Structure 1
Amino acid sequence: MKVALVDGIVMGGGAGLSMQATFCVVTENTVFAMPEASIGLFPDVGASKFLSKLPGAFGEYLALTGARLNGGEMLACGLASHFVLSKELPLLEKAMCEEAPLSKSTVLDLLNKFAHNPNMNENSIFRRLEIINRCFSRPTVEEIFSSLENEIENNGAEKWIEDAMRSMRSASPTSLKITLKSIRKGRTQDLEQCLTHEYTVFCNMLRGSINRDFFEGSRAILFDKDKKAKWDPPKLELVADGMVDKFFTSLDGVDPDWVNLRLPIRLGQTRSRARL
């Protein structure tokens, strides 16, 4: 049993660690996002599991746009189990220490004692779930773009739609397609399988034999910071399905320096299950 106390920014690896906890506690200071596509990467660290479990196509929306959520929104969509005021976290920690050793039911009782039900802002993106489902449930990234454009044309522009499209246009086209496939693949997989396919994709990105968008995105966003990444290919329509599939191709036998993920065998787990 693990309890994650998230009282600040949680992205990437931090999200992977906290989202897999038995209980995830957030506060009014919490900010969550998975902006990996903006640097030519994709949401990994188990994101294809915890994002694919969110209501409707909300996981696809978060993964493709890198949109940020606050603590209340995380609680509402299911990324967090409890909302606790930041000033009360020390009291919660003290209470848990005094109750040690802790059982799951004891922790739950303590969390419920400190938990609050925050009011969600009228402009919260989670209140746009109907539109998000309509647009981000489309089969391809191109169709998602088209659906968002139709939404603007038929119902007028909303800032969150414009922000979503702007973010996606600046991201790696290849990463967007990998991201969509990964999230939808995660809906039919358990956590171990999700971690395995994510590891395979990431290693294929690092190998740089398909394209080098991760290196170019890191240069443009993290190092040179010119925000002028030159993606290869530069447009969605130039990213063929076959190219995307190559990132999910097994590493075994491809290169002696690269192998598939080998997860440790856990109690009650067979070796064949561990070696997915």
Structure 2
Amino acid sequence: MVAICHRMTILQKILGCSLQRHQSLVPLVRRMCSSGPDVLLEDIGNKGLITLNRPKALNALNLGMVRTIYPKLQEWENNKSLVIIKGVGEKAFCAGGDVRSITEGGKKGDPITKDFFREEYYLNCLIGTLEIPYIALLDGITMGGGVGLSVHGMFRIATERSLFAMPETAIGLFPDVGGSHFLPRIGGNLGMYLALTGHRLKGRDVLKAGVATHVCDAVKLPELEDTLLKLENPYPEDVSEVLNDFHNAATFEKDKDFSLKPFLPQIEECFSADSVEGIIDRLQKDGSEWALKNLSILSKMSPTSLKVTHEQITRGADLTLQECLAMEYRLTQRCCEDHDFYEGVRATLIDKDNSPHWQPAILADVTKEKLAHYFSPLAADRELTL
């Protein structure tokens, strides 16, 4: 209870205003509405349902959505037995944070560069410490900010339409939203591989990589949702039993091996190097088609992002979620003060020429001093305190 009250105090301090909550919406609207508020919140008996409602933007997470979800999730932790989160439409659970708005605001000196990441990370932390079952239905694209809305929760359900990735090194950022906590814990250096290359996992691979906890046929998701909502005062083991039933009944890709299985020994060997240069050297020595493909991928990423990401994942292996988020907040602020984040978003999302001009342009020019600056503490009043 003390922790919950502390979270509310933090949010009130951030917003500087009283907290507004959306009214509950009827189930018909829940299933059919694709307009209206960016996020729909429903009180369904002793259950809570969050629906991300920006289908045209692939349910990308913006600051308003964070400010809507956070206080409701705090409230529900006190009076609900479980929470389900999903996205509208069949294309995406949540394709990431609205980084275009962040960079556009950053150029104008808008405080969104501070506020968005700070408040998003408070939400990530709340999800990771929630005392009731939190079930994320990862139907469709789940990247960046969408990973933060799901991966720290108790249950993550993948479907045949699931597409997971942390592609931030391609836009001059790094795998944030607690990426430094969950990625190094995947094992076999697979997390480092996913973080640096932005490799995409599809369907049942999301489960086999350890990101999802269960799978479910997409057509069965409404039935799964209704079954969960009909549980009376469920404990986590009751939720797990329901999820196991749908998991065991899932038919898609049932006999298909993990797509990365043939490369796991190479991933473990090459991506265990103690530097990005070391990884590249091992890939060059490997010389296989797989290695050459990954060398080509890495050559397109921001050199600064690659080095920051490698250090971030290395450090995160020994940190708590709260410590990881505090570290990552520092990194976001350094990215927003630098060049590559703005250039990466321009090249990928605005002009879409996919030809970013990174500064510096090569790994050798990302000095130890520059890397140390990224990880150095912010001014005391700017630090993220969880």
Residues 1-276 of structure 1: matches in 2 within 5 Å? 1-116=133-248, 118-119=253-254, 121=256, 124-152=259-287, 156-158=288-290, 161-208=291-338, 212-252=339-379, 259-263=382-386
For 1:169, give the aligned amino acid: S
Post-superposition offset of 1:123: 7.3
1:56-85 Cα offsets, whole Å, 9 max, x none, are 110010000000001311211211110111
Partners of 1:123 and 1:72 lie apart in 2 by 8
Partners of 2:213 and 2:299 lie apart in 1 by 33
More displaced stretch, 124-133 vs 26-35: 124-133
Post-superposition offset of 1:162: 3.3
Post-superposition offset of 1:93: 0.6
Identity %: 38
**Cα root mean square deviation, aligned:** 1.5
Post-superposition offset of 1:100: 3.7
- Structure 1 stretches of 4+ moved >6 Å: none
Give yes or no for contact 1:67–1:164 (8 Å, CA) kept in 2. no
More displaced stretch, 91-100 vs 115-124: 115-124
Give yes or no for contact 2:169–2:175 (8 Å, CA) kept in 1. yes
For 2:354, give the aligned amino acid: K
Unmatched runs of 5 consecutive residues or more in structure 1? 264-276
Unmatched runs of 5 consecutive residues or more in structure 2? 1-132
Give yes or no for contact 2:181–2:321 (8 Å, CA) kept in 1. yes
Partners of 2:322 and 2:234 lie apart in 1 by 26
- Change in 2 beyond 3 A, CA 1:166/1:233: same
Partners of 2:139 and 2:262 lie apart in 1 by 23
Partner of 1:266: none
Partners of 2:294 and 2:238 lie apart in 1 by 41
For 1:131, give the aligned amino acid: Q
Partner of 1:267: none
Partners of 1:112 and 1:229 lie apart in 2 by 45
Give yes or no for contact 2:208–2:258 (8 Å, CA) kept in 1. no
- Change in 2 beyond 3 A, CA 1:190/1:123: closer
Q: TM-score, normalised by structure 1?
A: 0.87
Partners of 2:329 and 2:255 lie apart in 1 by 36
Where relative contact order (Cα < 8 A, 6+ residues apart) is larger, the structure is 1
| Secondary structure at the counterpart of residue 25 of structure 1 | strand
